[in-house]
Chains A and B, each alone.
Chain A
Amino acid sequence: MSLPITSIASEEHRTTAHLPEPTMHEAMHASPPEKPAILAPGYGPLSFVAPQAGSYRLPSFGEAPNGEVLGEDGEPWSLHDAYGDKVVVLSFIFTTCHDINGCPLATYVMQQVQSALQRDPKIEDSVRLVSFSFDPELDTPEVISAYGNHFRSPDSDWVFLTTTGTEMLQPTLDAYGQWVIRDYDESGAYLGTISHILRVFLIDKQKRIRNIYSTSFLHADTVFNDIQTVLMQPDP
């Protein structure tokens, strides 16, 4: 199903377009559709000269909350253990997300950050990427792990997490202010889709949130600069 839409922020402003419905293959590779009518800035080159890393402050939002999670092997883990002693880029996603400017954007940008880190071995070991599913019903450890294998390079530090169910998941979502609405049909059957606002978190080694990105702000260049800034400024 395609919905007629009008962008208010894309190159196609004032034109009617159709929201591309990515196939599972497209979603898994988090790549832009062939004829993108509407794409978030994170899919293209940055349209401004970003402030130089370390030339600005990233004050703390406070502690990044802890929570119970499952690793890709299905073993219980704490979120803080998953962070380890690294600077963390954390995104909340679900693997069946079809909104090209939602979860696929987050994963696409994290893939670009992964590439940037691999080009900079001095800081690569200091950074971990974490993708956390908020759909435990469908994203079992096996599913989230297979999903992750489509995106991460063999040697990269990128972990994918899920939970056993709502009881384990909800406290973490609440703590991060990541509210979601699960979509049901009129008979109450889960549609496999979740309404949410995209948020990606930058967390320092002391487990403090140092930045939050939404769709308009999420770009690999600025995230990478922010990672460097946090490493240069451990005390916000």
Chain B
Amino acid sequence: MHKTIIGLLSFLVLLSSAGVRADETCMSPYMAKIVGQEDYVYIWTLGMEGVGDGEDKLVTVDVNPDSESYAQVVHSISMGGRHEAHHSGLTDDRRYLWASGLDTSKIFIFDVHTDPGKPRLHRTIDDFVATTDGIVGPHTNYALPGRMLITGLSNNRDHGGRTGMAEYTNAGDFISSVWMPTDDNLQGAIKSGNYADGYGYDARALPRRNALVTSSFTGWNNYMMNLGKMMGDAEAMKRFGNTVVIWDLHARTPKKILDVPGAPLEIRCAWGSQSNYCFTTTALTSKIWLIYEDDDGEWQAKAVADIGDASKIPLPVDISISADDDHLWVNTWNDGKVRLFDISDPHAPSQIFEQQIGEQINMVSQSWDGERVYFTSSLLANWDKTASAEGNDLQYFKLFSWDGKTLTPEFSLDFVEMGLGAPHQMRFGAHALYASQPVPSKTIAQTEH
């Protein structure tokens, strides 16, 4: 009776080890975490014309080195067409993976607990636009207690960047939606700078500060346009988000709109109990921005570092903060590089590492112990590169080991050669999450913050 089970039962705990530093790619904190060896990586993959069946897919790769099928695709489920597969997220109980399509605005809910090695489609939400009164482009699928928060990128009025957020029960039933604050309707928010554009992209919560932080990208008209065409369209290039919004998390009302010009994308908040700040990077201006609560309790935003040479448009995409809040991985899509920044002083990050990963790079996901770093390549169907100087390094899923100084290649899968498509977001799976037998105490823990 006095046996303490730390598995899923325990809250706020993470098994102590010197190697604890990563965050499973900054998923929603309100769920069990895999702190040991993950068994699978679920890769939400865009279909490509002429590649395999051409459909979007959820691809499952065995990543447990003790498995006979290590480094192999063990399962793939096609989605009956192309939906602009983009981001995905697990529910708070980690039993379902929500994966959304930016073009068709469909959300696919996969059962990943019945057989973690063979996800199956559980439910499809195909009325997202109508139910949310016009939100288009479901992007971030973020777990909150018993529900999923879905951020949008666009709307069905003009397919521009004005958008909103919606909430669904874990079962997939609509709860509510809210639009981002604009100059026309600030909804009580304080406009602290020049912009109140109403654009959306990512979201992260800090419940101990009752804060929800959202960022802003661009609308359907742009993210579905050919990249070269868009870059040459001066008007289109004006239609990118320039804001981060701080919300009252409990009330779901916007409190303050901060100027963060240049399309702030992924948001990653610090884990420390006294660390009331988050990072984002701006795609168009290639900077790291700090979103922080100052000594007076006011939320502020400031650019704190450059990422590469902004004039060459490296285009920062996914970022990942370490669990000790000391390091931030930053991928830059255009040059195919990953960079590591020392963020121990969040107001003055400095780059300490850089490595070429591929011809292009988008997502980064780390194991909890920080020793395994996964990368995928695809950004958007109409933005991805189509020709490679290196030949075959365009659409990949790669695993590297990380010893604190060096990224060492472990394996690489060519998703085009394998007939799969363009890999995007990665999420981890493990049998131990759903065990009916004793859970190895160094495999999983539930963490929140």
Contact = CB atoms under 8 A, between A and B. Distances in A.
Contacts of B252: 56-57
Nearest to A226: B250
A3 B441 contact: yes
Interface stretch (B168-176, B381-389, B390-398): B168-176
A61 B147 contact: yes
B207 A217 contact: yes
Given A102-B9, A192-B1, A181 B436 contact: yes
Given A7-B12, A186-B438, A13 B3 contact: no
Contact of A99 (B10, B145, B169, B437): B10
Contacts of A142: none
A189 to B, nearest CB: 11
Contacts of B299: none
A197 interface: yes
B98 interface: no
Given A6-B14, A11-B273, A13-B274, A185 B438 contact: yes
A162 interface: no
B436 A184 contact: yes
A196 to B, nearest CB: 6
Contact of A184 (B31, B207, B437): B437
A16 interface: yes
Given A183-B438, A195-B9, A196-B9, A5 B251 contact: no
B92 to A, nearest CB: 6
Contacts of B16: 4-6, 16
Contacts of A6: 13-16, 20
A214 interface: yes
Contacts of A88: none
A228 to B, nearest CB: 13
A36 to B, nearest CB: 11
Contacts of A48: 208-210
A21 B4 CA distance: 8
Nearest to B250: A51
Contact of B14 (A7, A195, A198): A7
Interface string B2-29: 1111111111111110001000000001
Contacts of A57: 176, 252
B436 A56 contact: no
B448 interface: yes
B92 A193 contact: no
B14 A197 contact: no
Nearest to A212: B146
A86 interface: no
B32 interface: yes
Nearest to A15: B16
B16 to A, nearest CB: 4
A216 B2 contact: no
B214 interface: no
Contacts of B274: 11, 13
Contact of A38 (B4, B12, B434): B12
A193 B9 contact: yes
Contacts of A217: 145, 207
B10 A19 contact: yes
B439 interface: yes
Chain A, interface residues (CB within 8 Å), range: 35 or more
Contacts of B324: 14
A207 interface: no
B186 to A, nearest CB: 16
Contact of A215 (B8, B12, B210): B12
Interface in B146-163: 146-147
Interface in A1-47: 1-11, 13-14, 16, 19, 21, 38, 40-41, 47
A77 to B, nearest CB: 24
A28 to B, nearest CB: 14
Contact of B251 (A56, A60, A99, A179): A56
Contacts of A8: 12, 14, 271-272, 323, 447, 449
Nearest to B13: A5
Contact of A5 (B1, B15, B145): B15
B93 interface: yes
Nearest to A138: B1
Contacts of B323: 8
B248 interface: yes
Nearest to B211: A48
A128 interface: no
B250 A50 contact: yes
A222 interface: yes
A157 B271 CA distance: 39
A96 B1 contact: yes
A41 B324 CA distance: 20
A11 B207 CA distance: 15
B208 A216 contact: yes
Interface string A196-217: 1111000000000000111111
A182 interface: yes
Contacts of B271: 8-9, 13
Contacts of B31: 197
Nearest to B7: A195
A171 interface: no
Given A1-B4, A8-B271, A216-B145, 18 more contacts: A6-B14, A6-B15, A8-B323, A10-B12, A19-B6, A19-B10, A51-B248, A60-B175, A97-B9, A101-B11, A177-B146, A179-B95, A193-B4, A195-B5, A195-B8, A199-B145, A214-B145, A215-B12
7 contacts: A3-B13, A6-B20, A9-B273, A10-B12, A13-B273, A193-B3, A216-B145
Interface of A: 1-11, 13-14, 16, 19, 21, 38, 40-41, 47-48, 50-51, 55-57, 59-62, 96-99, 101-102, 105, 177, 179, 181-186, 191-199, 212-217, 222
What are the 7 A-B residue pairs with the smallest beta carbon separation, nearest first?
Answer: A212-B146, A56-B251, A9-B449, A195-B8, A101-B11, A214-B145, A59-B176
